[in-house]
Structure formats: structure tokens, C-alpha cells
């Protein structure tokens, strides 16, 4: 379980909040960020601004500014919040499956459910924003890319475990990770456009990669 603490582990310990004023602040933060991830998945992180969030949540713009100080701080907090939601919806439930092929299939199934439901108004948060920020160097692109890396690392780890345990035949891990992640990203878009057939395509791509040795 050594690797598990590195990938998709919490980035910082969150101390329990006891002070009432702090608790109120934490709740306001939560309200703002929950709305911010929907805006970001639908209209992009650029639209995550103090003014838009004040309008959408009914909170005061000054109050939101006090909580987050600068637009970029707010945007980075939104990315972190979306990451936590993604972990709760996709990564954590898959941990009940044994590592290797079974956990990989579980990750994919939970991802499909996540893109289909969808958890965010505009579908996958990462897909929606990576296309927007991939040509714009800076802390936002770095944070999105770090999350992307964390996700592909998780897929790669399960594939490696499956090969090492003799569950599946040897394969080029990097290529397989790229194929699975590409298919999931494309499926997210297809699902937004109402194409449900894409789900079976994704499952077949994964089945074709996970062949018995």
C-alpha cells in the first residue's frame, strides 16, 4: 500500500474546525467552491470570479473576496475542490476492489458513472478545463496537469500490478494508459452530446487491453 499514500492522497492535513467563526467561514467556502466547480465545468475556470459567484450564491462579493483574496487563489481552490469530488466519486469507491485488473475495471466503471451522471454541470471538470488552459502556461495549467498526471499514474499502477500478478498479458503500460485516458476523455464529450453507445466502446477498449496471459 506504499504507493497508495503518494497517489490520490490528501495534499495537506485538514485540522478539525472547532471555533464557530471559523466553522462559518468553512461553510461559506464550501458553498462558494461547490458552485465554482459547476461554473468551471460548464463555462471554464476563467468564469470563476468573485462577481459571478456572488450573483450565483447570493453571498456578498466582499465576503467571498475575504475568503479567497485573489481570483487565482479562488481558481486553484476550485481545482482542488473538484479533485476531492473526483476522488470521492471515482477513486475511493474503486479501492474496495483488489488492486490490479479488477480495480482498474472498477475505476473505469466509476469514471463512466461520473461522466454520465454527471457530477459537475458541464461534465468532466478536467476535460473541460485542460482544453482551455493547455496553451496557457501558469499555476492553473500546472495544477490541472498535476491532477491529470495523478489520474494517469493511478491507471498505470493498476496495469502494472495486473501484469506483475500474471492477471493480464504483458503490454506497453504507457501506451495502454494513453489509450484508456484518451477514450475516457472522448467519452465524456460524446456523453454530453447524448451518445450513449460510447460507454460500450470504452468497455471494449479496456477489455481488449486486459487480455489473459
Contacts of 75 (CB under 8 A, 6+ apart): 40, 45, 48, 140
Of the pair 36, 67, the CB lying nearest a copy of itself is at: 36
The residue within the footprint of a copy of itself, chosen from 7, 26, 28, 42 (CB under 8 A), is 42
Nearer to a copy of itself, 72 or 102 (CB): 72
Instruction: Identify the residue among 7, 25, 31, 44 touching a copy of itself (CB under 8 A).
Output: 44
SS3 state of residue 112: helix
The CA-CA-CA angle for residues 26, 41, 119, to 5°, reads: 70
Contact by Cβ (8 Å): 177, 152: yes
- Judged by CB under 8 A, which of 96, 193, 196, 211 binds a copy of itself? 193
Cell of 94: 474503486
Between 90 and 180, CB nearer to a copy of itself = 180
What is the separation of C-alpha 18 from the centre of its chain, rounded to a whole number of angstroms? 29
Would you tell me which residues interact with a copy of itself (CB under 8 A)?
Answer: 41-44, 46, 121-123, 127-128, 130-132, 134-136, 141, 145, 172, 174-175, 178-179, 181-183, 185-186, 189, 192-193, 197-198, 201, 204-205
Amino acid at each position: 500500500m506504499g504507493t497508495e499514500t503518494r497517489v490520490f492522497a490528501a495534499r495537506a492535513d485538514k485540522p478539525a474546525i472547532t471555533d464557530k467563526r471559523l466553522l462559518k467561514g468553512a461553510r461559506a467556502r464550501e458553498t462558494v467552491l461547490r458552485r465554482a466547480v459547476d461554473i468551471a465545468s460548464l463555462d471554464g475556470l476563467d468564469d470563476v470570479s468573485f462577481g459571478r459567484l456572488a450573483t450565483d450564491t447570493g453571498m456578498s462579493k466582499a465576503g467571498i473576496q475575504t475568503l479567497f483574496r485573489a481570483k487565482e487563489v479562488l481558481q486553484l481552490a476550485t481545482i482542488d475542490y473538484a479533485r476531492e469530488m473526483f476522488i470521492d466519486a471515482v477513486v475511493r469507491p474503486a479501492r474496495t476492489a483488489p488492486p490490479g485488473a479488477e480495480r482498474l475495471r472498477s475505476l473505469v466503471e466509476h469514471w463512466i458513472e461520473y461522466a454520465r451522471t454527471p457530477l459537475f454541470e458541464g461534465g468532466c471538470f478536467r476535460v473541460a478545463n485542460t482544453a482551455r488552459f493547455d496553451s496557457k502556461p501558469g499555476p492553473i495549467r500546472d495544477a490541472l496537469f498535476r491532477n491529470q498526471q495523478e489520474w494517469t499514474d493511478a491507471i498505470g499502477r493498476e496495469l502494472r500490478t495486473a501484469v506483475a500478478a500474471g492477471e493480464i498479458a504483458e503490454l506497453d503500460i504507457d501506451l495502454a494508459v494513453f489509450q484508456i485516458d484518451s477514450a475516457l476523455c472522448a467519452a465524456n464529450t460524446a456523453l454530453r452530446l447524448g451518445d450513449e453507445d460510447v460507454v460500450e466502446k470504452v468497455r471494449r477498449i479496456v477489455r481488449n487491453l486486459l487480455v489473459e496471459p
